[in-house]
Amino acid sequence: MIRRPTLAVVAEAAGVSLKTASRVLNREPNVAAATRERVLDAATSLGFRRNAVAADLARGGFSRLVGFITGDLANEFYSALASGIERELREHGLQLLTASSDEDPEREGSLTGELLERRVGALIVTPAGADHSALRAEIAAGLTVVVVDRPAAGIDVDTVVIDNRGGTRAAVGHLLAHGHRRIAFVGDEPHLWTYQERSAEFLDVMRDAGVPDAERWLRSGAHDAAAARELVAELFAAPEPPTAVLAANNRATVGTLQALRDLPGGDGVAVVGFDDFELADLLGITVVAYDAVEMGRLAAELAVARSAEPDRAVELVVLPTRVLPRGSGERRPR
């Protein structure tokens, strides 16, 4: 729909050659100040915009834009990641463009294509898909790819994750130490790597503690608070309800708190949430915390380092987690 003048029209209006007009608009040196002024005036009044993609390619293909493909824009965890990434990129004069895959592998693929076609300089991805080998040719051609929160399958790239198993072990151990045996695990979609790590560790720790049938209290599908709320309400409506809940992500925690508020005696149920959130402190919610902003910052740092030095060794960074006791996780079973 956009009608734009070509470079030739701008050059003609400014009374200069095509080559001179091009040099001015690509910010190249060695053009007289008066000529530069004339070209810029013509370009502005005609509404000309240089084609940044063509210009980037002419300069060697490097773009100041970095693409971030995230799982869900409305989730506080991804916002924290994005702000960490953005802060670090800004230090290097780079700009972040964010797009959401909504945890859909197919959308992740098409977004990757859209961003690459627009020649972003690097891609940071929280992988929803199970296979990223389609990116192999791009990486071989020099594209920087960094994955964050979950590893990528089929490609060997810089990766930043947290210690999901360690965090889960600490959380379940915390509840066991406070006398709980009937502990529920309310987690995200089963195809997500973080769910798989956390749920497997939950079952391991429970079995080691002499609770071999903990699958009874294992639930998945809590990708938003409403789904978690329903899952928790069902858990407590069944015979032998749990006395404690490990809510395995921040959405699950909110849904768990909503369900327990509506349940008689719900305020006596112990809760530990995976992921800290802004109001957890005010609400007295014990959580498994880690630094999500730092996680984003590290991913951006790796993207910058890789772009500068494509042959450096691939890095895997694992961030630590810790349990922050705030009251809800220290309740004893009744």
Residues in the site for a second copy, rule: CB under 8 A?
1-4, 44-47, 49-54, 60-62, 64-65, 73-76, 79-80, 82-83, 86, 95-100, 110-111, 113-114, 116-119, 121, 137-138, 140-144, 225, 254, 257-258, 261, 278-279, 281-283, 307, 310
From the list 78, 67, 52, the residue with the least C-alpha distance to 122 is 67
User: Is residue 235 within 8 Å of 217, Cβ to Cβ?
Assistant: yes
Cβ proximity to a second copy: between 45 and 216 the closer is 45
Measured from the CB atom, the residue of 77 and 202 that comes closer to a second copy is 77
The minimum distance between CB 86 and a second copy, in angstroms, equals: 6
Pick between residue 3 and residue 334 the one whose CB is nearest to a second copy.
3
* CA–CA gap between residue 256 and residue 12 (Å, rounded): 67
CB of 134 to a second copy, least distance (A): 9
Shortest separation between residue 88's beta carbon and a second copy, angstroms: 14
Q: Residue 125: in which H helix or E strand, if any?
A: strand 122-125
User: Is the Cα torsion angle 257, 263, 267, 269 positive or negative in sign?
Assistant: negative
Whichever of 132 and 169 has its CB closer to a second copy, that residue is: 132
Residue 322 CB, shortest distance to a second copy, in Å, is 21
Q: How many CA atoms lie within 13 A of 48 on its CB side?
A: 24
Nearer to a second copy, 117 or 240 (CB): 117
Q: How far apart are CB 296 and a second copy at their closest, in Å? A: 10
d(CA 151, CA 234): 32
Closest distance between a second copy and the C-beta of residue 166, in Å?
A: 26
Q: How far apart are CA 98 and CA 96, in angstroms?
A: 6
- CB closer to a second copy, 85 vs 214: 85
Which tokens go with 188? 């995200």
**Nearest-angstrom CA–CA distance, 274 and 251:** 9
For the bound state, the minimum distance from the C-beta of residue 197 to a second copy, rounded and expressed in Å, comes to 26
Which region holds residue 93: left if phi is over 0, alpha if psi is between -120 and 50, else beta?
left
* Residues across the chain: 334
If one counts every other C-beta atom within 10 angstroms of the C-beta of residue 158, the result is 24
Residues 246, 186: contact at Cβ < 8 Å?
yes
Residue 129, SS3 per DSSP: coil
Task: Give whichever of 78 and 202 is closer to a second copy, judged by the CB atom.
Answer: 78
Tokens at residue 131, please? 């296979």
124 or 172: whose CB is closer to a second copy? 124
CB of 292 to a second copy, least distance (A): 10
CB-based contact 250:75 (threshold 8 Å): yes
